[in-house]
C-alpha cells in the first residue's frame, strides 16, 4: 500500500491485523487486570471477565 493509503486507513482507525488488535486492546489488558486482582497470571479456563466491574477492559 502507498504511504498515503496507509495514512488514510489510520485516520479511519482501520484494523489491519485483527488478532494483534484483540491481543493489544483486550487480552493483554484483561490479563494485566487479572494479575492485579489475583496476584498471578494462571487464569482458570472457566474464568469469565466480570460484567459488573468497570475496571475490566471492554471491546467498544
In a domain, residue 26? The reply is yes
pLDDT of residue 17: 92
pLDDT of residue 60: 53
- Would you give per-residue pLDDT tens digits along the chain (60 residues)? 899 999 999 999 899 899 999 999 889 999 999 999 999 999 999 998 888 888 888 765
In a domain, residue 11? The reply is yes
In a domain, residue 53? The reply is no
Domain count of the fold of the chain: 1
pTM greater than the 0.95 cutoff: no
In a domain, residue 30? The reply is yes
- Structural domain of 13: 3-38
* Cα distance between residue 24 and residue 40, in whole Å: 19
Amino acid at each position: 500500500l502507498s504511504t498515503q493509503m496507509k495514512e488514510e486507513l489510520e485516520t479511519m482507525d482501520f484494523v489491519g491485523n485483527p488478532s494483534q488488535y484483540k491481543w493489544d486492546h483486550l487480552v493483554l489488558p484483561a490479563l494485566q487486570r487479572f494479575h492485579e486482582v489475583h496476584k498471578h497470571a494462571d487464569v482458570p479456563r472457566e474464568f469469565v471477565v466480570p460484567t459488573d466491574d468497570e475496571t475490566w477492559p471492554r471491546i467498544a
